[in-house]
Amino acid sequence: MIWNPEKECASREELHRLQSERLVNIVKYTYDNVKFYHERMDACGVKPSDIRSIDDIGMLPFMTKQDLRDYYPTETFAAPMSEIVRFHASSGTTGKPIVAGYTRNDLDNWSEGVARCLTAYGLSKHDIIQISYGYGLFTGGLGAHEGATKVGCSVLPASSGNTSKQLLLMKDLGVTALCCTPSYALFLAESLHSTPGFSPDQMNLKVGIFGAEPWSENMRAELEDKLGIKAYDIYGLTEVSGPGVGGECEYQDGTHIWEDMFYPEIIDPNTCRPLDYGQTGELVFTTLLKEGMPVIRYRTRDLTHLNADRCRCGRTMVRMGKIMGRTDDMLIVRGVNVFPSQIESVILEFAECSGQYLITIDRINNNDTFQLDLELRPDCYSDNMSRMENLKKEIVGRLASVIGLKCDLHIVEPGNIERSCGKAKHVADLRKI
């Protein structure tokens, strides 16, 4: 199903015309209303009149998360405060939070993006969607909620936590779609299988909508198997909008970016040189309709690639490959670049593994240490030392072949690794403390 065929299936020529028109407007709007953009463009010798089409976007300066922090909390807002109807904010775990302001039109466009995603997943007014993202400053809960309401779904605003009640309501209300982080979905699945009185065959679930953190294809397979669903990716970020910047279709051959609203580029993260379709690099976004806090050439730090071929579903919007990691999440261990998503993918190749893990990096005597704590499924955990040692050797060997490093692997008892109702914390890099 397609929510907005006129836009989602527009010809590339029509899309180019629309993007050009909107870029010209948004550049003038931000230049006139945001000191940051005015000063940055002047420093680059660029005036709004120099931007005549989307092809001129490379003339514009980049924006980074640090820029948003430097102008905290609202100096990058373009609309007057009287027109800002909602605030959201990032967690701020690595510094000041990013505060985003939304006008009424921004919220309407945001819910439009989410509605396109949910429809692509096959959802309609006949579905009941349980939203287990946190509600509040995090964009996930309210963003998904308003998009689901726009589609006409019955919404269960469960938020995060209180897992036993989540399962009870999921069963008794006949929930057909679950929306949360993949790590919390895995925790719900574990609880579903281990809590007396609950089992997957009691549930009416058919669709999982997961985002807010990178997750691998192996994690997708794990969730689909444990929950009996088809698992879809939804993409977004606070700085650009929230969930609904893009989503997969039924063919799951990449995430469609709604590029009539959010223009994507891929650049080399080191040189900032634009890369062609199919090449992996850093994802950059320009918001073409945002009024409250527009961003131009915002560097997301997400590493992926784009595909502009027409999809089998009929949509012409570019498709983004699975996020392989973030430039700021990349670990350099003994000179080797390591992404947590690589480790997760390897772990889930082994049927004995539950998907719960913790990577701990430290430095002792000027040498990096690399420890991996890993849980097995309860039915696979054993005090048979020989069996456990053989499994450890297999996992360590497979990891070494993929990432080029050996780790100190500890198999821990099921339930020992802390669970999270929001974004999972899989890495403890003690070298930074």
Residue linked to tokens 């009416």:
204
Mean pLDDT value across residues 19-39: 98
**Per residue in 141-192, pLDDT tens?**
999 999 999 999 999 999 988 999 999 999 999 999 999 999 899 999 999 9
Average pLDDT, the chain: 93
Residue 110: predicted pLDDT: 98
Q: Which amino acid is at 419?
A: R
Q: Is the pLDDT of residue 81 over 90?
A: yes
CA distance 392 to 108: 51
Contact 20, 54 (CB under 8 A): yes
| φ, ψ of residue 171 in degrees (nearest 5) | -75, -50
CA distance 124 to 129: 10
**Higher pLDDT pick, 93 / 207:** 207
Burial environment of residue 64 by CB neighbours within 10 A (0 to 12, 13 to 18, 19 or more): middle
Tallying the residues shown for the chain, one arrives at 433
Sign of CA dihedral 370, 424, 300, 428: negative
CA distance 376 to 390: 14
**Higher pLDDT pick, 67 / 413:** 67
Q: Measured between alpha carbons, how far is residue 86 from residues 81, 83, 92, 110, 350 in Å? A: 10, 9, 18, 12, 45
Residue 234: predicted pLDDT: 98
Residue 424: predicted pLDDT: 77
Residue 190's contacts (CB-CB under 8 Å, 6 or more residues apart) are: 226, 354
Cis amide leading into 264 (omega within 30): no
Q: Is the pLDDT of residue 209 over 80?
A: yes
**Per residue in 50-64, pLDDT tens?**
999 999 999 999 999
Q: Measured between alpha carbons, how far is residue 294 from residues 66, 208, 340 in Å? A: 16, 30, 31
Contact 358, 414 (CB under 8 A): no
Residue 92: predicted pLDDT: 64
SS (H, E, C) 273-321: CECCCCCCEEEEEEECCCCCCCCCCEEEEEEECEECCCCCCCCCCCEEC
CA distance 174 to 172: 6
Give percent of the chain above pLDDT 70: 98
- Domain 1-327, CATH among 3.40.50.150, 1.10.260.40, 3.40.50.12780, 3.20.20.70: 3.40.50.12780
Mean pLDDT value across residues 303-312: 96
**What are 174's two structure tokens?**
């006949």
**Higher pLDDT pick, 4 / 341:** 4
Residue 167: predicted pLDDT: 97
Q: Is the pLDDT of residue 414 over 90?
A: no
Contact 256, 315 (CB under 8 A): yes
Q: Measured between alpha carbons, how far is residue 239 from residues 41, 125, 150 in Å? A: 20, 30, 22
CB atoms within 10 A of CB 168: 14
Q: Is domain 331-432 annotated with CATH 1.10.3720.10?
A: no
Name the band, by pLDDT with cuts 50, 70 and 90, for residue 341: confident
CA distance 14 to 20: 10
Q: Is the pLDDT of residue 320 over 60?
A: yes
Mean pLDDT value across residues 374-386: 84
Q: Is the pLDDT of residue 405 over 90?
A: no
What's the whole-model pTM score? 0.84
Q: Where are the domains of the chain?
A: 1-327, 331-432
Q: Is the pLDDT of residue 11 over 90?
A: yes
Contact 99, 295 (CB under 8 A): no
CA distance 319 to 309: 8
Residue 387's contacts (CB-CB under 8 Å, 6 or more residues apart) are: none
Contact 354, 365 (CB under 8 A): no
Residue linked to tokens 């949509």:
315
| φ, ψ of residue 398 in degrees (nearest 5) | -65, -40
Strand residue runs (E) in 197-237 = 207-210, 230-235
Q: Are strands 230-235 and 207-210 parallel, antiparallel or unpaired?
A: parallel
CA distance 431 to 429: 5
| φ, ψ of residue 87 in degrees (nearest 5) | -115, 145
- What is the helix (H) or strand (E) element at residue 262, kind and residue range? strand 262-267
Evaluate whether 1-327 and 331-432 have a shared fold. Answer: no
CA distance 349 to 342: 11
Mean pLDDT value across residues 232-245: 96
Contact 282, 40 (CB under 8 A): no
